[in-house]
Amino acid sequence: MSDSSYAWIIDQDTLPDPSFPEGTNCNARGVIGPRGANPEYVRLLQESESNGTAFRLCWDDCPPDHVAYYGRILWDPAEFEARLAPLDDFGMPNAGCVSIEYRNDRGQWRPI
């Protein structure tokens, strides 16, 4: 999967360490990925919180107290695997997340 086929942003870190600046692994609000992300997608994600598809990264089966991060992603629809990218790129290696869920058009969270 080409890095340029998607971009994601973390909108909320549920357990940030305030001694670190935002946009870092310990205070992840604003972290964008992956390296080499599609610049147009990055611009759109930064421009408005209504751009992109909402996701959440969880430590377990995603009850509210198991959510580590909330974010959004934009991807090339031909790159189906990109749906897992925030988990693989950031959630798992940074916080040990094991699942990703997407919000459907009824506002419900659904696992992949």
* Tens-digit pLDDT profile for residues 52-91: 999 999 997 666 678 999 999 999 888 888 899 999 999 9
CA distance 79 to 82: 6
Q: State pLDDT tens for residues 10-54.
A: 999 999 999 999 999 999 999 999 998 999 999 999 999 999 999
Q: Is the pTM of the predicted complex or chain greater than 0.85?
A: yes
The tally of domains found in the chain comes to 1
pLDDT at 80: 80
Q: Domain range holding 10?
A: 3-111
Contacts of 7 by beta carbon, 8 Å cutoff, 6+ apart: 32, 33, 34, 37, 38, 41, 42, 45, 73, 74, 75
